[in-house]
Amino acid sequence: MKLLPALVALLVLPAVTVGVRAQWPQPYKVVFDLTSPDPLDQQAVLRWITEIKAANPGTETEVVMYGHGLDLVIAAKTSHAADVARAIGDLGANFRVCAIAMKNQKLEMGQLVPGVKTVPDGIGEIVAKQRAGWGYVKVGH
């Protein structure tokens, strides 16, 4: 009889431990830093957003682009306009471009994929997000 509780513990404990590992984390907030025009980097950030939202729909995602990262959302340059629009519309992702980079590249809002917004300073946006507790991911390979 004294072995019964120990046997039950051995049978139940692994199931509880496995159950804990299988649970997804609570929703979180993550900002992606995109400065690359590389199509692999562009595809990666779009894939990550899709996968994150599928696994954890409450998670907030934002892509901040400056430098050549703007290529992802310049309608005339990108091959991912539909993917960006879907990420914004269906997945609730935010895409923000640096106003300084837009000025340096002589771009207007009308040249961007619809739904993309600007921030005064891309690096400042990332720093503000980090101060507010957002996770940070540099997009690159």
62-113, pLDDT tens digit by residue? 999 999 999 999 999 999 999 999 999 999 999 999 999 999 999 999 999 9
Statement: 26-138 belongs to CATH 3.40.1260.10: yes
Cβ-based neighbours of 1, under 8 Å, separated by 6 or more: none
pLDDT category at 25 given cuts 50, 70, 90 is confident
CB atoms within 10 A of CB 34: 28
pLDDT category at 135 given cuts 50, 70, 90 is very high
Residue 59, sorted as left (phi over 0), alpha (psi -120 to 50) or beta, turns out to be beta
Q: In degrees to the nearest 10, what's the CA dihedral of 39, 45, 49, 55?
A: 100
Mean pLDDT of 9-37: 68
Domain residue limits, the chain:
26-138
Which pTM was predicted?
0.82
